Amino acid sequence: IASGLESDLKDENVFRVVKYSLNAAHVLFTDPSEGSRYVKDSTLGSLIEELLLRLHEQKFQRDEAYEVLMKGMNELMMNILHNANANHVFTVLIRFLYEGAPLSGGREVT
């Protein structure tokens, strides 16, 4: 997802790959299924961090294609917060507070 957002979103193939990747993650976290409950802390942390950083990204805010992806990322973020293992989600969010607050500019985008 991240490398696709760094690329030109005007490229139809890049846009499609990013959109399908978001959809696949969305399907995993749509309901509190067994699959979403067993996502490892590290994987969940990377996904949440990447989503939050991309949602906060200013340079794409005015792009129409990015607005569609932004809606999908917002929905995915809400599904993760609601349906992933609550202990893992809270662990990830608390870790963000103690590890340089990546969203406050304390760390480079991955």
- Residue ranges covered by each domain of the chain: 2-102
Name the band, by pLDDT with cuts 50, 70 and 90, for residue 74: very high
Higher pLDDT among residues 22 and 103, named by residue: 22
Q: Which tens digits make up the pLDDT trace of 32-53? A: 777 777 888 888 888 988 888 8
Query: Quick one: average pLDDT of 21-32?
Result: 86
Look over the chain and give the mean of its residue pLDDT values, rounded to a whole number.
79
DSSP states along 65-87: HHHHHHHHHHHHHHHHHHHS-HH
Between the CA of residue 7 and those of 2, 48, 59, 83, 102, what are the distances in Å? Answer: 9, 20, 12, 30, 22
| pTM more than 0.85 | no
Query: Quick one: average pLDDT of 9-37?
Result: 82
